Structures are given as C-alpha cells and as structure tokens.
Structure 1
Amino acid sequence: MKIAQQIPCPTCSTLIPFDSYQLLLGVYFECPNCQSSIGLATESKTIVEKAVQKLDDIKKQNNNNG
C-alpha cells in the first residue's frame, strides 16, 4: 500500500502531492492551485535519503511481521 505524501505549498498552503523517491532524484513538484514549485535543496538530500531508507526498513519489518 502506497501512502500519499503531501506538503503544504509555501505560497498558498494548498497540499502538493509528491513522491519522496522522485524528490531525491531532483524532480520539482508544482502546486495545483498557484503553480509554485517545490524541490529538495541539495544540502538536504543526504538527510532525506537517510529518512527514506529508515522508512523503507520499517515497512520491510512490518511486512515480515504481518
């Protein structure tokens, strides 16, 4: 089951759907309301990669236990 990920637009607060894996690849996501875009700052990439990996590990553990 894939969980939808969303982040509030910094301009208008509309929720912007995004995919963390694409975000790590440098994809920008556009607000469906005001067309502002969000992306991952280069200096944040390592932090987000580690968080995504931890989340994947937790998902695998849950799948193995359930």
Structure 2
Amino acid sequence: MIAQSQNIPCPVCSTGIPFDTKQLMMGVQFACPNCAASVGLAPESKELVQETMEKLEAAKGKTSK
C-alpha cells in the first residue's frame, strides 16, 4: 500500500490537519497546525479502519484494469 498524505478537519478549529494513513495505522498522532490540538486513531478502531482501507485498495485495483 502506498502511503498517502491527506487532511482531516481539526475537531477544535476546523483547520485541515495533514496526516499519513500508514502512520495513522501505526498509532501516530497528528497536531493541528493552527491550534495544536492532536488527533489519532483509537486502538479499538484500528481493525475497522484496516478492513476499510483494504476494501478501498481492492476497489481501486478493480477500477484501474
């Protein structure tokens, strides 16, 4: 899987927080560049997110053929 940088809205100020999906899955937290609030993936959500990412990658593979 290729790491992709994306943004998620800050829960405090709505500024886009850049994050890397691979690092997010590894438990890294990311800080808002505007207010320094941090976001990360809750341990109990990791399995669901992993399954969703695998389905997304499989769907991308089907559409690129």
Provide the TM-score with structure 2 as the length reference.
0.84
Find runs of 4+ consecutive structure 1 residues off by over 6 angstroms. Answer: none
**CA RMSD after TM alignment:** 1.6
Q: Provide the residue aligned with 1:11 in structure 2.
A: 12
Unaligned runs of 5+ in 2: none
Secondary structure of 1:43's counterpart equals: helix
TM-score, length of structure 1 as denominator length: 0.83
- Taking the aligned partners of 1:45 and 1:52, their CA distance within structure 2 comes to 10
Aligned residues: 63
Residue in 1 that maps onto 2:63: 62
Alignment of 1:1-66 (within 5 A): 4-64=5-65
8 Å Cα contact 2:18-2:30 kept in structure 1: yes
Structure 1 regions of 5+ residues with no counterpart? none
**Does the CA contact (< 8 Å) of 1:9 and 1:16 recur in 2?**
yes
